[in-house]
Amino acid sequence: MTTAPLTDLTPEASPSAGPAGSRQLDLPLALSVGFLLLVVLMAIAGPLVVGDPNAQNLVRRLSPPGTAGHLLGTDQLGRDVLARLVIGSRVSVIVGVSAALLSGVIGSVIGIVSGYLGGWTDRVLMRLTDVQLAFPSLLLALAVIGFLGQGLGTVIAVLGVTGWVSYARVLRSEVLSLRTREFVEAAQVIGVPRGRIMLRHMLPNVTGPLATILTLQVGTVILAEAALSFLGLGVPPSIVTWGGMLAIGQLYLGTAWWLAVLPGTALMLTVLAINLAGDAVRDRFDPRTYTS
């Protein structure tokens, strides 16, 4: 009796697995990072490249895209739309990054302290988190800005203070699992102060979730700032913002579509790129979804 030759039972590398698959999956990330770098570059070097975004030329008002000297057209006052888009990116970048960092600091402190100390401290901080979570953040931002007045610093502070809940809840759950680990118990046994344990042992071990939330929060803040500017309660009208451009553009949708479509597209692509980058950061730090 002859036996059939043994076949190679080693699984073949699939196109979507391993280094080759990683290169394929990195294309959206590369495009997202490239677009975000372009937005940041516009925010930094924009004023050196484009002209005055508030310069008016009523003779050329509502010129369509492609007009000589105005690549993306002009608005109802003859102001160059491209210049306003470039300058408007500065507010989105500044507010998005600053408010997300402020939220991250507040939420990290509350989440780590609550998870590590436990007891009545945990109960008090979590009830505070529940109250903040139950109250609509945008409505709270509208109320505070209506009371304090418009301003870039006010918008950053309000959006930063109202956005810390997601950080606190996620980091608390991470710390609850970390505080029973051997290295934490060993540090407690030898008398390491609590503050040092939280700073030197807890914080470095939650940087993955923290980076993921921080990345995604930037997009959320940019949308919130655009919504406030659209409603006229963001930064002062003299400062060019994408939300402010949308507010004006929606009045001219029937005659000058580019006034609303262009800033809306810029806002959509920026937030989409941030979300894709946030997904990549999550996959990188989550061992359940990331494969090296």
pLDDT tens for 64-92 read 998 888 889 999 999 999 999 999 999 99
Reference 149, options 247, 246, 232; nearest CA is: 232
Cα-to-chain-centroid distance, residue 147: 26
Buried b (16+ CB within 10 A) or exposed e, 91-130: bbbbbbbbbbbbbbebbbbbbbbbbbeeeeebeebbeebe
CA distance 244 to 92: 12
223 and 29 in contact (C-beta within 8 Å)?
no
* Model confidence pLDDT, tens digit, residues 237-249: 888 999 999 999 9
Supply the pLDDT for residue 37: 92
Domains in the chain (CATH in brackets) are: 76-285 (1.10.3720.10)
pLDDT: which is higher, 195 or 2: 195
* Model confidence pLDDT, tens digit, residues 135-190: 888 888 888 888 888 888 899 999 999 889 989 999 999 998 888 888 888 888 88
In sequence order, what are the beta bridge partners of 70? 67
